[in-house]
Structure 1
Amino acid sequence: MILHYKNMDFTSKNIITTAAVTAALLPAASFLMQESQVAYADSVEYRVITGDYVNFRKGPSTSYASLGQLNKGDKVEYISVSGSWTKVKYNGQTGYVYSQYVSQVNSEAKTEVKYVNCSALNVRSGAGTSYSIITTITKDTKVEVISTSNGWSKIKVGTTTGYVSSKYLSETKDSSNSSSDNTSNSTTSASKVVSYAKSFLGKPYVWGAQGPSSFDCSGFTYYVFKNSANITLPRTSKDQSTYGTTISKKNLKVGDLVFFDTSGSNSGNVSHVGIYIGSNQFIHASSSKGKVVISDFNNYYTNAFVKAKRVL
C-alpha cells in the first residue's frame, strides 16, 4: 500500500510538471498563431470581375440567394475555390461568384482614356437609359473607361463613376473643335434653334403636349431642340434642368435654357423652362398666356429664376 501511494505521488508530480510546461508554452503558441494571422492578412489576394450583372451569392450554387450583383471591373478579395465557384469578399460581405466571371488582377493594365464626342452626355447610375442621371458632361470631356459591355461604358470622370453610351466616346478630341470654330458653330446652332422656336409663336399651351400643334413648357423646349439641333432633352423641366452645363444669369447666351420656380415663393424647385433669345428675353410656352410667347426678364421672372443650362 505504501508503494502504491508513492507511485501515485510520482504520477501527480508528472502531471503538475506537464501542466507547468504547457502553461509556459501557451504564450509562445498564442504568439505564433498571431504571427500566422498577420502573415495571412499580409498575403490577401484580389481578383477582378469580368462580366456585368454577375450574381454574388450566399453559397456555391445558383440555388443560393443573391446578395447583389457585381459588374465588370469590380475588385474583390479572393478567399478560395469551391468547384466551379469562387469564394470572395466584397464591401464587407462574403459570398460566391461563378468562377468563369473571376480573373486575376492585371497589375500592368492601363486605364483607357476617351473623350465625349457629343454636345452633352448623360452619366447614369447603371448601364441603360432606365437608370437615373448622375450628371451630364460636355463635348471633349476626358474620361477614364473602366470597362465596356453591351454598348455601355463604365467611366470615371473626376470623382464620379457611372455609365455612358459607348457610341458617344471617341479615342481623340474633335480636331476641328478649335475655340473659334466652336464659338462659330455654337452661334450658328443657337440662331437656328431660336429661329425655329419663333416659328411656333402663338401655338396654344396644352399641358402634356410636345408639338407640333400645341405644347407645354418642357414639351416646347424638347421639340425645338430635337428638331432644330438634334439634341434630345429629358421630357420634364425638372429633368431638363440637370442636363448640360450650368450657366450664371449674367453669362447667358442665345440658345441657353432658362429655368424658373413659378409655384410661389422661389424655393429653387424648377417648374418652368424657356429658351433665352438675347436682349434680356426668352421664348416659352406660357400657361398663364395660354400660348407660346416671348417674355422679358421682368421683376416676376427675375425673382422666379432658378438656373440656366447650356446644351449647345
Structure 2
Amino acid sequence: MNFTSKEIITTAAITAALVPAASVLMQDTQIAHADSVEYRVITGDSVNFRKGPSTSYESLGKLNKGYKVEYISTTNSWAKVKYNGKTGYVYAQYISQTGTQLNTTVKYVNCSSLNVRSGAGTSYSVLTSISLNTQVEVLSTSNGWSKIKVGSTTGYVSSKYLSDTKTSSSSSSTNSNASTSASKLVTYAKSFLGKPYVWGAQGPSSFDCSGFTYYVFKNSANITLPRTSKDQSTYGTTVSKSNLRVGDLVFFDTDGANDGNVSHVGIYIGSNQFIHASSSKGKVVISDFTTYYNNAFVRAKRVL
C-alpha cells in the first residue's frame, strides 16, 4: 500500500494528539486503583452530595460538617468522593485540602446500656444494645452522634455515652443506681396499662396524663412532682430528645400548632416509646414517637 507524504504527516499528527489523552486515562486508572485510600473531611454545612460534577446533577443527600469521605479525584471545582458506599461529587471548596488517612478512635461505653441504632437519631431502629465499658471503634462523629463499629455491627450511638477510658466501678455506681430506679419505675408504670383516662384523676384506678406521672414517681421513686404537666415541665434537668434515657419525662404540645406550650406528659421507656395516660385512647397506653408526637414534642426532663 502506498502513502503520500501528506497522509503520513496527517497520521503522525493524529497519533500525537491521542497520546496525551491516553496518558490522562492511564493516570486516572492509576488513581482509581491506588493501594492507599485517602480520606478528607467535609468543611461546609449540609453540603450537597451529587451524582455528577455540576449543580445540574441530582443530589444523593447532604454531607454535614466533619464527615469523613474517601477522596478519589478532583475535576475543575468538583471533588469525586465516596461516602457510605456511594460515589458522587461535592464542591471542592467544602472539603479539606490536605488528605489524611482515616484514623479510627477506640472509646468505651460509659452507661449501663446503650442502644446502637441504624441511623443518627432516636427515630432510627435499634440494632443492638451494648453494656458498660464495651470497647467500640468510632468511625466518625457529627451533631452529637458517633458512627461506631462493635463486633460485626456498624451503627450510631449518642456521643455523650462514650468515653476515652473505661468507667471505674465507683464512678459508675451513680449511673447504675439511676438505671435500676428507672427500670423499677417503668415496670411499675406498666402495671397500670389499660387503666381509664379521667380528667383530674391521679390514681390508682384512673388517671389524667400528669396525674399518672405524679402517682408513678411518688409511689415508685419517692419523688413528688408538681401536679400539672406544665409545672412538671419546669422540674428536673432539661435533656435533649437525642439524649433521652429510660425514666425521663417527655412533654408535648397537643393543643394544636407547637408553640412551646406544654399540654401533655409521659414517661420515656426506651426503644423510641413512652407510656402515658392518653385522652384520645381513653386509657394508659404505650405509644411510639410517631411523626405526630415528634412534631408535638416540646422538651424532656430528667428527675432520676
TM-score (norm 2): 0.48
TM-score (norm 1): 0.47
Task: State the structure with more CA Rg.
Answer: 1
